Homo-oligomer: A and B are copies of this chain.
Amino acid sequence: MTAFAIPLASATLLPATPPGFRFEVLHESRKPGSRARVGRIHTPHGVIDTPGFVPVGTNAALKGMTNAQAASCGVQLQFCNTYHLMVHPGVEVVEAAGGLHRFMGRPDGPPLITDSGGFQVFSLGKETNDDAPELKRRAAARGRNAGTLLSISERGVRFRSYRDGTVLRLTPESAVLAQKSLGADIIIPLDELPPLNVTRERLARSVELSHRWMTRSLHTHLADPRQQAMYGVVHGGTDRQLRAHSVEYLSGLPFDGYAVGGSLGRDRDEMLALLGYVLPLLPREQPNHVLGIADPASVERGVPLGADTFDSCFPTQIARHGTLLTASGRIHIGQGKYKSQHDCPIDPEAASGADCCDGVSRAYMHHLYKQREPLYETLASMHNVRFMMRMMATLRERILADDL
C-alpha cells in the first residue's frame, strides 16, 4: 500500500458523532458464519431499525407517496438526491425553508440522508445511472443535450445542468455546504465515480482522488457539524486490494458510518462476493451501508454479510413500470391474466389483504395501470416499499432468533 498517498491531515480532524447520532447494536446473530446484526441508528429526527431499507425520493418526494403514506409503510430513513435538488428548486430555496425536513412538511422526522451529487454528475455521461435516461429525455425535450460532465480536476467537477444548460461546479466543499443547506441527518462526502472497465492504474488514481475529496469533505463538515453525521464511501471497484486500501484509509478518519460505493461487479454473485470481502473489513462500531443496491435477493444475501442499511430507487422504479414484488416473486401487473384476479390481493402471502396496498385486488391494479391512472403509481410504490419494509422486519426477527 506504500504506493498510495498518505491521508491528508487526518490527525487534525475533530472527533465525529454529532449530538443526537448514535448507533446501537442490539443483537449479533449467533448462527455460524453469519455477520448479521440487529441495531438502531439514533438520529435527531428519529430511529432507524437495522437491517433497514432506505427508499429513494429523488426530488424530495417518494414517487406518489405522502409523508403519511410513507410512514404507514414503515419508512424510517429516506434518501434524497442533492444533484436533483441543486438543479430544482436549488439548495438555497430548501435552506430558506429551514432545510429538507421542513421543506417536505415533516419537520419532526423521520430522518433523511442525502448524497453528494457526484453520482449523478458522473453517471450522466454514461448509461449506468438509473436516473440518466430520464434526465436525458427531459433535456432532449428542452432541446438541448443532457447534463454533461465538462471536466474533472483536483479541485472538483464542472457539469452542465440538464434543466437549463447552465454550468455548475461541484467541489468537495460545495457538495458538503449544499448538504448543510439541505440539512439531512446523514450526508455523504464527494467522491469520484470512475468509468467502468478502466485500467487498474486509472482506478487507483480515482480511489486516491476520492480519498482526498472525502477528506476535504469531512473537514468542511466538521468545521460546522450541526446535527449531521457523515458516512465515508469505500471505493476500489472490484479490485480487492484497492477496496482494502480504501477501507484502511477511510477508517482512519472520523466518519460516523461507512458506505460501500462504486462498481460492485457485473452481476449479483460478483457483487455479493465483493461485499463478503469488503464488509468484514469495515469498522463495526458504525453503521455499514450499501449504496444503490436493494433488490430483495441482494438484500437477503447481503444482510448475513454484515450490511446494516441499503438504499435504492429500485422498488419504486419497477413499480412505476408495472412490476410488483410478492413473496412468490415479481409479477407484471399489466399482463392480461391479472385483469380478472378479483379476490387476490397483490401479494396473497402478505400479512393481510387490508394491510397490503389499500386492500385492492390485482384486477383493480391492472385496470389502474392500463388506464395510466395516477392512483396506480401511488398504490404500486406503496406496495413495493411496504414489501421491502416487511422483508427487513422479517430479517430482523430472524437475526434475533439466530436464524440468519
Contacts and interface: CB of A to CB of B under 8 A. Distances in A.
The CB with the most chain B CB atoms within 10 A, among A97, A105, A368, is that of A105
A379 B63 CA distance: 12
Contacts of A123: none
Contact of A342 (B60, B103, B339, B366): B103
Contacts of A381: 374
A63 B97 contact: no
A64 interface: yes
Interface string A305-318: 00000000000000
A8 interface: no
Interface string A297-328: 00000000000000000000000000000000
Interface in A175-234: none
A64 B64 contact: yes
Given A64-B374, A340-B96, A373-B61, A88 B367 contact: yes
A61 B375 contact: yes
Contacts of A367: 59-60, 88-89, 93, 103
Contact of A358 (B84, B89, B105, B339): B105
A246 interface: no
A249 interface: no
Interface string A60-88: 11111111110000000000000010001
B97 A363 contact: yes
Contacts of A359: 67, 105-106
Contacts of A104: 360, 364
Contacts of A340: 93, 96
A398 interface: no
Given A88-B367, A93-B339, A103 B60 contact: no
B105 A67 contact: no
Interface in A141-158: none
For this chain, the copies found in one complex come to: 2
Nearest to A84: B371
Interface residues on A, range: 35 or more
A67 B379 CA distance: 11
Nearest to A375: B61
B62 A363 contact: no
B97 A342 contact: yes
Given A59-B368, A89-B363, A96-B340, A375 B65 contact: yes
Contact of A360 (B105, B370, B375): B105
B371 A88 contact: yes
A228 B69 CA distance: 34
A116 interface: no
Nearest to A367: B89
Contacts of A84: 371
Interface string A83-113: 0100011000100111000111110000000
A384 interface: no
A371 B59 contact: yes
Query: Which are the 8 A-B pairs with shortest beta-carbon distances?
Result: A64-B374, A105-B360, A97-B342, A61-B375, A105-B359, A89-B367, A59-B371, A61-B373
Given A61-B375, A374-B374, 19 more contacts: A59-B371, A63-B374, A64-B374, A65-B375, A66-B375, A67-B359, A68-B358, A88-B367, A89-B370, A93-B363, A97-B361, A98-B342, A103-B361, A103-B364, A104-B360, A104-B364, A105-B358, A105-B359, A105-B360
